[in-house]
Amino acid sequence: MTTMLGVSLTGRRVVLAGAGDVTARRLSRFLDERADVRVVAPELSPAVAQLVADHEIPWDARGIEPRDVEDAWLVHTATGDASVDARVAAWCEARRIFCVNASDGAHGSARMTAQSRAGDVLVGVTSDAGVDPRRTSRAHAAIRELLDSGRAPLRRVRAAGPGSVALVGGGPGPVDLLTLRARRLIAEADVVVADRLGATGVLDELDPEVEVIHVGKAPGSHPVPQQEINAILVERARAGRRVVRLKGGDPFVYGRGGEEMAACLAAGVAVEVVPGASSAVSVPQAAGIPVTHRGVASGVHLINGQSGVSPATLASLSDPEITTVVLMGVAAFGGIARAALEAGVPGDRPVAFVESGHTPRQRTTRTTLARAADDARAAGVRNPAVIVIGDVARADLLLPEAALAEAAG
């Protein structure tokens, strides 16, 4: 019978006998746990040699001896010689030192687990008797999938220690486009402060006890001012709660994530940023529009349509090799188009309006710069929409004949 224990090895001596492929895998885990590691082996495999050099690990270039295990908390033996590994395990048994014997089906007096971490939750899987790595691997993969999905009950029942804030990019909308880290942090959250757009469907998966605060903005309507949002994040975190600020797109791309991070840092609140797929790239992708394309567009200029037309924007619009992507620009597009045409940008420059990307309501309106404002009004283009200006917005860009013509050129 095996009893599972969570043992901290931080700062404690771990001796590894042997330096082959098995040792390389296990050595990385011991380093991650910040153990005081020492290697004893006549030779090092390339992978172990790299780790020894990178982390300045003490290495005794000889066979292991009884004195090597004297001050160890844990010994891992994988010399490639079962009789040597058995002797090492016996030395440890006599000294009441736990030993992982990689060459023995019974594993010695201790076992390595297949493990997964989700925040401060660590889950290990091992076999109680004998070696069955494939079964252990399958069980571990199923647990890992559950943790990654955000469906595991990871939220703390009560506050423990200081609170924190995570600024999480929700991407363009579909829940399955959230990153694994985003799903894990949302599953752990005590409070979710949510935007109007983005992966709001994930809110349906939350524990009923999770506090959800809606602060979403719409064009011309900001019911919760930014300063109040900052205050909410700081106040909840100071109360010892794990706060997720769930945003559409990426927190640092027109998401005011920088302002919220600054507010948390100024208040002494721990804060991290989790990137999300920015709508500037992911929404055009949903319509089959690459914002860069070899031989067509070598750069991207991103603007907030509400900020007006700067000289830099006019320069990007005038450059046929630059794609200009406009966010929050439906209402302001007429002025942007007029300024571009007056600056000499060709009227036949392709334009695409992609509405509600990655949702069942997605729609793309393709036109040209000279006609775009009229065509958008006629089509009833509405926010949320991403506007792409440049040759990448051509309807025939990715058609087979276009690709063949490009390859021939």
Pairing of strands 385-389, 322-327: antiparallel
* Burial (CB count within 10 angstroms: exposed 0-12, middle 13-18, buried 19+), residue 61: exposed
Spot the catalytic one: 195, 204, 319, 391. Answer: 195
Spot the catalytic one: 217, 247, 348, 396. Answer: 217
Helix axes 333-342, 311-318, angle to 10 degrees: 70
Active-site residue flag, 195: yes
The helix/strand/coil state of 211 is strand
How far is it, in rounded angstroms, from Cα 125 to Cα 244?
30
Here the tokens at position 342 are: 């007056």
How far is it, in rounded angstroms, from Cα 120 to Cα 97?
27
Amino acid identity, residue 385? A
Here the tokens at position 69 are: 């295990």
89 contact partners, CB below 8 Å, separation of at least 6:
77, 99, 101, 104, 108, 109
How far is it, in rounded angstroms, from Cα 102 to Cα 3?
19
Active-site residue flag, 247: no
How far is it, in rounded angstroms, from Cα 142 to Cα 273?
28
How many H-runs (helices) and E-runs (strands) does the chain carry?
Answer: 12, 17
By the 8 A CB rule, do 190 and 238 touch?
no
Handedness of CA 225, 226, 227, 230 (dihedral sign): positive
How far is it, in rounded angstroms, from Cα 227 to Cα 266?
13
Residues annotated as catalytic (active site), given as ranges: 195, 217
